[in-house]
Amino acid sequence: MHKLEVVGAKKLKGQIRISGSKNSSLPILAATLLSSKKIILKNLPKVKDIDTMVDLLCSLGSKINYTRNKLLINNSRQNKKFASYSLVKTMRAGILVLGPLLAKFGSAKVSLPGGCAIGTRPIDIHLKALSKLGVKYKILQGYVYATAPNGLIGNRIRFPKISVGATENLIIASCFAKGKTILSNCAIEPEIDDLVKFLNKMGCKINWLTKRSLQIIGVKNLKDITYSVMFDRIEAGTYLIAAAVTEGHLKLKNVDPNIIKTEINILKKIGSKIRIYKNEVHIYGKAKIKKKNIRTSPYPGFPTDLQAQIMVLLCKANKKSIIKESIFENRFMHVAELNRMGAKISINGNKAYIQGNTNFTAAELMATDLRASVSLILAALCAKGKSVINRIYHLDRGYEDIEKKLKRVGAKIRRLN
């Protein structure tokens, strides 16, 4: 099993090109199932979750030519509608094939999804919303059996709470529904807007009515397209924090600063100096780090996917900070490992109390999920001595070439077998 060795206490300096978005690529890949035309996708990140989704599409009959960061899809003979547990178990986004399969074939059998153990993340919101489009479903032995006896029929649907996955699934499914569908209380993450742009370019008819509601007019015909996926805002946020925590200076390329305004503003308040350009962000980390109370929330709030990373930075702040995790109920598993490195963090319910003034010391560590993995790297980068991080297969699900990118900006990091 692979592990990472990190020798810390080095300031990161240089430039990093941010990869395409994993969280945007996955729903877009699922949405390609709607089409029987040629689709070319560019700027895909080379990460394990993308490989898994490609394998899932191939198992459903898609013909895919996959070169690094570019993918050619031909679905002219795609006719299968069974997504097996063996392919869905490692990745939450596997459930996103349910919507397009129902739209295309009127029935599907899809395994309940897996992914990181950061919370229950039930799919009942997906299923109840799909039922309002005419879907009947049952769950047996870990699989969703779903049918739309009369095809999908447009309807007004209000999500009971904001859900990124349910919003994506319903947008995709509604593209082939008869008539008009209006979705309200939608998630508005940039990755959802990227999905909408992709679908519209392919020939769908989707438009935003208000900030959290959109209208979809069902279509029957789609067209050949080439589409480039947006940048990965979580990767960008991770490297911004890496510069801040090591008192480094990094130039991030291939980013849209407007999309990460919240993260930039919080880092400025914590003490970093940040300059914004058209497609770049330059950050200068400072020795003095200020305390900050943070609450994770749906976009445009502070993302839960950066909670573990920002916690490392707040460990070095001058006073006590509090992080309230409002998205997932089990996303503090990295805390025990950070405390082993010298942090003083206590948990009470969904709040983490961070004492600050931490001087991290090297340790042998165990990654528990994707974002926790990278938080341990950040702590190791500013710790004295050599740290070893085990179970990094989580990391490979979401970060492209992380060791190479960090090495290029001065980190002492290597992968061990």
- On whether both 87 and 126 belong to a single domain, the answer is yes
| pLDDT above 90 for 326 | yes
- On whether both 329 and 344 belong to a single domain, the answer is yes
- On whether both 216 and 278 belong to a single domain, the answer is no
- Catalytic machinery residues: 116
Q: Which residue from 285, 235, 252, 236 is spatially nearest to 14, judged by alpha carbons?
A: 252
Please, what is the average pLDDT of the chain?
Answer: 94
Last residue of some domain: 228, 254, 275?
A: 228
- On whether both 249 and 204 belong to a single domain, the answer is no
The whole domain housing 114 covers: 22-228
Task: Give the count of domains, the chain.
Answer: 2
Q: Are 147 and 106 in contact (CB under 8 A)?
A: yes
CATH assignment at residue 289: 3.65.10.10
- On whether both 155 and 304 belong to a single domain, the answer is no
Last residue of some domain: 165, 196, 228?
A: 228
- On whether both 158 and 189 belong to a single domain, the answer is yes
**pLDDT tens digits for 162-214?**
999 999 999 999 999 999 999 999 999 999 999 999 999 999 999 999 999 99
Banded model confidence at residue 118, pLDDT cuts 50, 70, 90? very low
| pLDDT above 90 for 345 | yes
Task: Give the dihedral of Cα atoms 86, 87, 91, 95; nearest 10 deg.
Answer: -110
**pLDDT tens digits for 219-275?**
999 999 999 999 999 999 999 999 999 999 999 999 999 999 999 999 999 999 999
- On whether both 26 and 9 belong to a single domain, the answer is no
Last residue of some domain: 228, 253, 274?
A: 228
**pLDDT tens digits for 47-103?**
999 999 999 999 999 999 988 889 999 999 999 999 999 888 878 888 999 999 999
- On whether both 211 and 249 belong to a single domain, the answer is no
| pLDDT above 90 for 34 | yes
Q: Are 45 and 22 in contact (CB under 8 A)?
A: yes
For residue 49, give both structure tokens: 């979750």
Least confident of 27-31, 40-44, 119-123: 119-123
Check residue 120 and give its pLDDT: 42
- On whether both 73 and 212 belong to a single domain, the answer is yes
Query: Which amino acid belongs to residue 224?
Result: D
- On whether both 56 and 12 belong to a single domain, the answer is no
Phi (first) and psi of residue 206, to 5 degrees? -125, 135
**Which pTM does this prediction carry?**
0.96
- On whether both 255 and 162 belong to a single domain, the answer is no
- On whether both 10 and 39 belong to a single domain, the answer is no
